[in-house]
Amino acid sequence: MTPVLVFDIETVPDVAGLRVLHDLGNDLPDADVAAMAFQLRRQATGNDFLQLHLHRVLVISCALCDSDHFKVWSLGANGESEAEVIQRFFDGIEKYTPQIVSWNGGGFDLPVLHYRGLMHGVRAPRYWDMGEGDHKDSRDFKWNNYISRYHSRHLDLMDLLAMYQPRASAPLDDLAQLMGLPGKLGMSGAHVWDAFQAGKLADISNYCQTDVVNTYLVYLRFQLMRGMLTVEQHRVQCDLVRSTLGKSAEPHWKEFLGRWKN
């Protein structure tokens, strides 16, 4: 069985980078630097969502299913550097060559990781393999790689379910709740910067983890719909997630299981 790796990132404004680009000194507080960037962005576009290269990766949460094992964890939960977090993520792809799954990963998460990885000198040869590498099965990547939008080695569920039409895309939280899944817990992406400034890194990590498990459960339902899982196989995989999370004493998993209806 090819391992399935579901991932999601949480980011904050790259304050250090903004200081460089706007020639700002260190006397201006981080919050004021970010507020300035948000204001400039609102003036330019009508919203304060920064360009992707200005997002600093704080946490990458992952859910890995390999045969009959399921695991959830976060890179960056202990305050590791951005460079280390990104490198470790791509090292995992190098090691396992998994099927990777995301919700809007093609539109946000992966481009952010590309830009930020480039800045830090991250190495990710397996991920960037498009059939020209030296790996023994590199030729397979010419026809199915992580980069091409219509290849399945990276499955962006939001993009695919919307038939690659942005106006048809659905929020993960809405779809998850309509499917009887828990949906987002604790916060939303819009609140990560405030939580980070308040020193709530653990809360950000927990929130990101619940997002990847929601995404994995949507992926399982998708696999059922497309005939890749039988009804019984789908039930077994959902039970594996339930039993794994049930062994944790973490409050966010207790809340997650309590809100999981189907």
What string of pLDDT tens digits covers the 262 residues of the chain?
A: 799 999 999 999 999 999 999 999 889 999 999 999 999 999 999 999 999 999 999 999 999 999 789 999 999 999 999 999 999 999 999 999 999 999 999 999 999 999 999 999 999 999 999 988 666 667 789 899 999 999 999 999 999 999 999 999 999 999 999 999 999 987 777 889 999 999 999 999 999 999 999 999 999 999 999 999 999 999 999 999 999 999 999 999 999 999 998 8
* Phi, psi (degrees; rounded to nearest 5) at 207: -60, -45
- Quick one: which of 26, 7, 4, 3 has its CA closest to 15? 26
Residue with tokens 């470790």: 88
Domain interval for residue 97: 4-259
Three-state SS at 147: coil
Cα 212 to Cα 24: distance, rounded to the nearest angstrom: 36
Which CATH number belongs to the domain containing residue 129 in this structure?
Answer: 3.30.420.10
Distances (CA, A) of 202 to 83, 90, 113, 116, 120: 19, 22, 21, 22, 24
**Contact partners, residue 122, CB within 8 Å, separation at least 6:** 83, 86, 87, 90, 116
**Contact partners, residue 34, CB within 8 Å, separation at least 6:** 12, 13, 15, 18, 193
* Phi, psi (degrees; rounded to nearest 5) at 124: -150, 60
Cα 255 to Cα 260: distance, rounded to the nearest angstrom: 9
Q: Give the residues across from 66 on adjacent strands.
A: 69
Per the structure, how many domains does the chain have?
1
Cα 76 to Cα 80: distance, rounded to the nearest angstrom: 5
